[in-house]
Structure 1
Amino acid sequence: MHSKVDVAVMIGSGVPPMLRDLGRKACWVVLVNGEQRGTAFASRVEAEECRQAWQAKLAQYRPGRHAFQHSA
């Protein structure tokens, strides 16, 4: 199965209280197959870096590749 990794923006009441307390009215989150993974980011750049990390991690577990290799 191919996983889809996206960055989504949340605005207004969707922004976590910690970021709202800092005056942020928007934040970005990483979605893997439509589900939020990790924390909310104050910048899109941070969220894009996290998205790239998720893509790299998921690429290691593509069908046909084994997460664990047995040594002989």
Structure 2
Amino acid sequence: MQSKVDIAVMIGSGVPANLRSMGRKVCWVVLLNGERRGTAFSSREEAQECRAAWLAQLNAERPDSLH
């Protein structure tokens, strides 16, 4: 089964308290097959880097016959 890695945006009360306390009203999270993985990011670019790392790890774990 191929895993799906997405980025979702969280707004308002969905933003973790630590980011809200810094004045953030929006954050981004990485989803693996629809489930949140890791921390919330204060920038989309950080979330994209995390997504790329997940994709690289998942591709490395696939059997050679599927590459």
CA drift at 1:60: 1.2
Is 1:49 matched up with 2:49?
Answer: yes
Question: Normalized per residue, which structure has more helix?
Answer: 2
- Distance in 2, matches of 1:38 and 1:30, equals 7
Q: TM-score, structure 1 length as denominator?
A: 0.86
Q: Which residue number corresponds to residue 11 of structure 1?
A: 11
Cα-Cα RMSD: 1.0
Q: TM-score, structure 2 length as denominator?
A: 0.92
Q: What stretches of structure 2 of length at least 5 have no aligned partner?
A: none
Post-superposition CA distance 1:10-52 (Å, at most 9, x none):
0000000000000000000000000000000000000000000
Please give the secondary structure, in 1, of the residue aligned with 2:9: strand
Please give the secondary structure, in 1, of the residue aligned with 2:40: strand
Count of residue pairs the alignment pairs up = 64
Q: Percent identity?
A: 69
CA drift at 1:57: 0.2
Q: Which residue number corresponds to residue 26 of structure 1?
A: 26
- Distance in 2, matches of 1:59 and 1:4, equals 11
- Kindly name which structure, 1 or 2, has the bigger radius of gyration based on alpha carbons: 1
Q: What stretches of structure 1 of length at least 5 have no aligned partner?
A: 67-72
